[in-house]
Structure 1
Amino acid sequence: MLLLGLLLLLPLLAGACLLWDRWKCRSLHLPPLAPGFLHLLRPNLPIYLLGLTQKLGPIYRLRLGLRDVVVLNSKQTIEEAMVRKWVDFAGRPQMLSYKLVSRSYPDLSLGDYSLLWKAHRKLTRSALLLAIRNSMEPVVEQLTQELFERLRAQAGTPVAIQKEFSFLTCSIICYLTFGDKIKEDNLLPAFHDCVQEVLKIWGHWSIHIMDVIPFLRFLPNPSLRRLKQVMEKRDHLVEKQLRWHKESLVAGRWRDMMDYMLQEVAMPTAGESPGQLLEGHVHMAAVDLLIGGTETTATTLSWAVAFLLHHPEIQRRLQEELDLELGPSASGSWVSYKDRERLPLLNATIAEVLRLRPVVPLALPHRTTRPSSIFGYDIPEGTIVIPNLQGMHLDDTVWERAYEFWPDRFLEPGKSPRVLAFGCGARVCLGEPLARLELFVVLARLLQAFTLLPPAGALPSLQPQPYITINLRMQPFQVWLQPRGLAGPNLGQRQ
């Protein structure tokens, strides 16, 4: 009876909240409101949201449960909010699913804006920059070489390339974060499986519906119970690495990013401090790197392979560019990432894949930290703001042949707008430098070593799975990797 009474009371509370919100905003000039309540349940949501701009313009409101959500669909509106007025829009809504994932310490990607959050971000960014200087490219090269040795052994057999890319990107971030010992202890499969479980359960509709209707968390929910179990497993794996690093730490020496971050948080802060960074912040930085740096890059690599299977003429031109710059495919020559300008078509192809299929197409939702405005519209404090990155990239008023895969658009500098697949402003993706390096190295060496062919002529679908959670997932597919040259390139050799 109590439960029934609460369920009957819910519509009354919702109506009261709507009336209260309207009364508070009665004097404001708000963006237009799209009629209806089920917009966010639409398939192919970024494209649907872009379509609403024809009637409502590039900025409008939707209803998300009991709250208004402002959607930004153009480069101008996104950059005004996230770059020019970044302080106003740097917050993060504190949703139930975010709190479940963050657990005891503020998460970097999901944490709300504060001075302590800025210090946490600076710590993680410094660790990544250290990895870039010291070990990032050699680690990517080494693990890519090991992957291609496995793939060469599978020549003649269709390969589920998405799974291979997923394990590769997870291995790279584990090596950079935790060091070589993680391979010695054979923990890479455990970390990879854990990442897959986290993303699968966190992305389930029964978890995200609680963000819209928080009352549902009090009802039986097997996914919620499973998510808590997976979080415990995740934290156990990371805490084991933390303990080992603390026990074997040598002052002034950094074997990996965790070593660096542990020594930084142990140092006393001088002058005014936003608060003390603790080991828990190192823990959550490692979690963010692991969760955010695996499937995003692996999915982008998979989209790139799928587009090249559909466009063999682009693949052929890429291989000709590689052969021209590096010699025949079996020569073993290589170009460093810092000299990537030598491969303009490869860079253009990567930019085009990121434009058409930004892996987090709606970014993560922002929250206004104070009253602000965009293009003359008032945006109240606490408003959830969604940047429609994929919609922005498909705006045919900005992009010529917007829906076509056409890398040549980027071969003339300054002709095409900048792609914002990693976001922009204070919340720009921290892992962008690593992701770009991985995309360049893996695709270049893949095309240098193999010709990509569809098995039995079965081309993969270029349509994303219709209902997105955070990532823009693709339909599973296989590819046949035909080795180029008799011996193939020695992927570990430089000239």
Structure 2
Amino acid sequence: MGCNREEKPLPSNHNVRRTNKADFQMHVKEKVAGRILKNWKDSPPGTCWMAHTWSLPHLLNNRLHEDLFHLSRIHGPLLSLKLDLKPRVLILSPKMARKTLKQQEYVFSSRTIMEAIQVITYDTASVIFSAKAFEAFGPVHKQQVHGLLKQLYLASMMKNSVHIADLGFVASGKISLKHTFWELMQILGSVNVTDLIPVFKPFDLQGLKRRILKIFWRLYAFYENIIKERLEERKIRIGNIGKERLDLLDVLLDYRSDRDDELKSLSRKNIKGMLAEMFTGTDTTSSTFEWGMAEIQRKPDAYKKIVMELDQVVGKDRFVEESDISNLPYLQAAVKEVFWLHPAVPLLVPRSTNEACEVSGYHIPKGCIVLVNVLGMARDPSVWEDPCESKPERFLGSSIDVKGHEFNLIPFGSGKRSCIGLPLVHRMDTFT
């Protein structure tokens, strides 16, 4: 996507002549489909993807965010997409993201849930916690992060290679169904035609629904077993409840019984939904770790600066604490650079509009699906200098953070619909 990495380069001339039969056929398909699926009145400029869906393998074998990036370079930072009868728009600029996600936050606050996520998370039975409730996880979070750091330290002392994703499973609760989760990650990382074109939902063309249901029942039995086992353990150590919390599950079971906040009303289904969200988030966390380590290996100078800063602030006799982070500006810049270069979710979870509105003179109807291409925003040379190079220095002295306040960098989204794991994920990535 404009980078000399795995992304496809931008075409030097957007008005490429169609010189062969295949190109001519695609042109005809696009014209015919465009007649069938007309845009709504005063819609943003755009293209008809129905021509591409007539050849589904083409759509499924390409990285969707890259194709959308190329389209946006032709049509601008706000464009309409014709996939089926449901209206869709794509956002690909910080300015346009601010106009929609912040200035009209209420209108763009509904979320469209992918079919696989809806099944695995018990129809999104998880809950969103306040900052106060997150504090309940503090001691357990610190314990788990320190455990992860010890694993990394011991492996480095023994000169062993480390598979970060496997350590992520240890930090997430010593999961015994690793292969099941990897199969789940593979499905979640696939382009599901049903999510793009809902009219295909009854047919399950790729067989993903059948596979995800099998995984759901395996995980259902797993969650039931660990909850039952933990409840039995708690009966044995009843006198120590509240003093010895082993992990997130202990916190949830503990606090729902004696707190007068949102934790108090947690049901068994809510707890399973939270466990499912935590485990499905393991892949994005581990991939961020791995990209971070890869970028450090590619940039020896950046690695030396990080080590020097850690030696000066933390020393070599203890682990990094959360209180140290504010005194580690270069490390913070390096973490932001990883989120910027390699966002775990290149296309944010789709949103939909609660009501009709106007954006930059264009009409956006109620129920419109909204896609935000954060990776494309990071590759825009009009916003970033050297958008394909890893340069942590670009964030030194900058007020830009990853919390969704500055729209130049929103790997976790923005506003009420940002990633619920943001407080925990950001801390863990910085520690590691």
TM bin, normalised by shorter chain, reads 0.7 to 0.9
What is the identity, as a one-letter code, of the residue corresponding to 2:394? R
Deviations 1:261-289 (A, max 9, x none): 4466668999xx9xx76321221012112
**Alpha-carbon distance in 2 for matches of 1:391, 1:319:** 31
Secondary structure, aligned partner of 2:46: coil
**Alpha-carbon distance in 1 for matches of 2:194, 2:335:** 36
Report the equivalent of 2:4: none
Report the equivalent of 1:315: 303
TM-superposed deviation, 1:296: 1.0
1:199 correspondence with 2:179: no
Secondary structure, aligned partner of 1:67: coil
| Runs of 5+ consecutive residues of structure 1 not aligned to the other structure | 1-14, 109-119, 175-187, 443-495
Change over 3 Å in CA distance of 1:84–1:242 after alignment to 2: farther
1:173 correspondence with 2:163: no
Secondary structure, aligned partner of 1:341: helix
**Alpha-carbon distance in 2 for matches of 1:315, 1:106:** 40
Report the equivalent of 1:51: 70
TM-superposed deviation, 1:309: 1.7
1:233 correspondence with 2:252: no
Secondary structure, aligned partner of 1:419: coil
TM-superposed deviation, 1:135: 2.7
Kindly indicate whether the alpha-carbon contact (under 8 Å) linking 1:70 and 1:383 is maintained by their aligned counterparts in 2: yes
1:61-210 → structure 2 map (5 Å cutoff)? 61-93=80-112, 96-103=115-122, 105-108=123-126, 120-122=127-129, 127-132=133-138, 134-155=139-160, 159=161, 161=162, 164-174=163-173, 188-205=174-191, 208-210=192-194
Q: Which of 401, 411, 431 is residue 386 of structure 2 equivalent to?
A: 401
Change over 3 Å in CA distance of 1:126–1:41 after alignment to 2: farther
**Alpha-carbon distance in 2 for matches of 1:325, 1:203:** 39
Report the equivalent of 1:355: 340
What is the identity, as a one-letter code, of the residue corresponding to 1:106? T
Secondary structure, aligned partner of 1:281: helix
**Alpha-carbon distance in 2 for matches of 1:30, 1:268:** 49
1:461-480 → structure 2 map (5 Å cutoff)? none
CA RMSD of aligned residues (A): 3.3
Relative to the length of structure 1, the TM-score reads 0.68
What is the identity, as a one-letter code, of the residue corresponding to 2:298? H
**Alpha-carbon distance in 2 for matches of 1:361, 1:149:** 33
Kindly indicate whether the alpha-carbon contact (under 8 Å) linking 1:325 and 1:342 is maintained by their aligned counterparts in 2: yes
| Runs of 5+ consecutive residues of structure 2 not aligned to the other structure | 1-31, 54-58
Change over 3 Å in CA distance of 1:269–1:353 after alignment to 2: closer
Report the equivalent of 1:112: none
1:290 correspondence with 2:279: yes
Report the equivalent of 1:182: none
Deviations 1:446-484 (A, max 9, x none): xxxxxxxxxxxxxxxxxxxxxxxxxxxxxxxxxxxxxxx
Change over 3 Å in CA distance of 1:148–1:64 after alignment to 2: farther
TM-superposed deviation, 1:93: 2.6
Report the equivalent of 1:258: 249
TM-superposed deviation, 1:428: 0.9
What is the identity, as a one-letter code, of the residue corresponding to 1:130? A
Report the equivalent of 2:419: 429
**Alpha-carbon distance in 2 for matches of 1:78, 1:219:** 33
Runs of 4+ off more than 4 Å: 15-19, 39-42, 219-223, 249-252, 262-270, 415-418
Report the equivalent of 2:29: none
What is the identity, as a one-letter code, of the residue corresponding to 2:429? L
Change over 3 Å in CA distance of 1:88–1:141 after alignment to 2: same
**Alpha-carbon distance in 2 for matches of 1:239, 1:171:** 19
TM-superposed deviation, 1:131: 0.9
Change over 3 Å in CA distance of 1:309–1:168 after alignment to 2: same
**Alpha-carbon distance in 2 for matches of 1:219, 1:389:** 29
Q: Which of 413, 428, 432 is residue 438 of structure 1 equivalent to?
A: 428
Kindly indicate whether the alpha-carbon contact (under 8 Å) linking 2:79 and 2:89 is maintained by their aligned counterparts in 1: yes
TM-superposed deviation, 1:31: 1.2
**Alpha-carbon distance in 2 for matches of 1:209, 1:323:** 50
**Alpha-carbon distance in 1 for matches of 2:113, 2:294:** 36
1:453-468 → structure 2 map (5 Å cutoff)? none
**Alpha-carbon distance in 1 for matches of 2:395, 2:326:** 13
What is the identity, as a one-letter code, of the residue corresponding to 1:173? S
Change over 3 Å in CA distance of 1:311–1:263 after alignment to 2: closer
Secondary structure, aligned partner of 1:413: coil
Kindly indicate whether the alpha-carbon contact (under 8 Å) linking 1:60 and 1:72 is maintained by their aligned counterparts in 2: yes
Report the equivalent of 1:111: none
Kindly indicate whether the alpha-carbon contact (under 8 Å) linking 1:82 and 1:426 is maintained by their aligned counterparts in 2: no
Aligned residues, how many?
381
**Alpha-carbon distance in 1 for matches of 2:120, 2:202:** 15
**Alpha-carbon distance in 2 for matches of 1:426, 1:48:** 28
**Alpha-carbon distance in 2 for matches of 1:297, 1:402:** 23
Change over 3 Å in CA distance of 1:93–1:421 after alignment to 2: closer
